[in-house]
Amino acid sequence: MDQITRLDVWVSRLCLSHGYNHIQARISRLVSRTGDGPLYLLLALLLAWLDGERGMGFLRAGLTVFALELPLYLLLKNYIKRERPSGLPVFIRPSDRYSLPSGHTAAAFVMASLVAIHYPSMAPLAFVWAAVIGASRLLLGVHFLTDLIAGALLGSGCTLLVLL
């Protein structure tokens, strides 16, 4: 575990300890906001309205997957209790104390996985977007790399478990 922690700290230092970190943080804040929950609901409702049964299927699937992912995320976060990065620049105030797994990344990968299942041609864009949301959390100083990996696995895994 010490090797993973050392790798996480090294990656965080590399990403946050440079002269461009304030510009990077402004961009990362905007990207991170696209991963806030209300936008997911708005997207799903819009698809349900515009795309008939396929859009309604997307909405129903999203509600079902998030009904599993959110409690599991909270259980893991409060069981593991990994402290957030410290001693490095932090550019936002996180909504809670612990970092593992990244909730923004988990939710982004739920959405990307749902898009891949319901709108396959959009899958590459959706997964790139989800990865960029995860990276934004690292670049804001509130998560380690392994928090993002765990979030991606949680979000994708819950989607696959529920829908396939």
Which member of 18, 22, 118, 143 is catalytic?
143
DSSP code at position 30: H
Active site annotation includes 22: no
Active site annotation includes 118: no
Nearest to 157 by CA among 100, 72, 55, 99: 72
Which member of 18, 22, 104, 118 is catalytic?
104
Nearest to 92 by CA among 150, 33, 159: 33
* Degrees to nearest 5, angle at CA 150 with 5 and 86: 40
H helix runs in the chain, sequence order: 2-16, 21-33, 37-50, 52-80, 103-118, 123-139, 145-163
Point out the residues that are catalytic: 104, 143
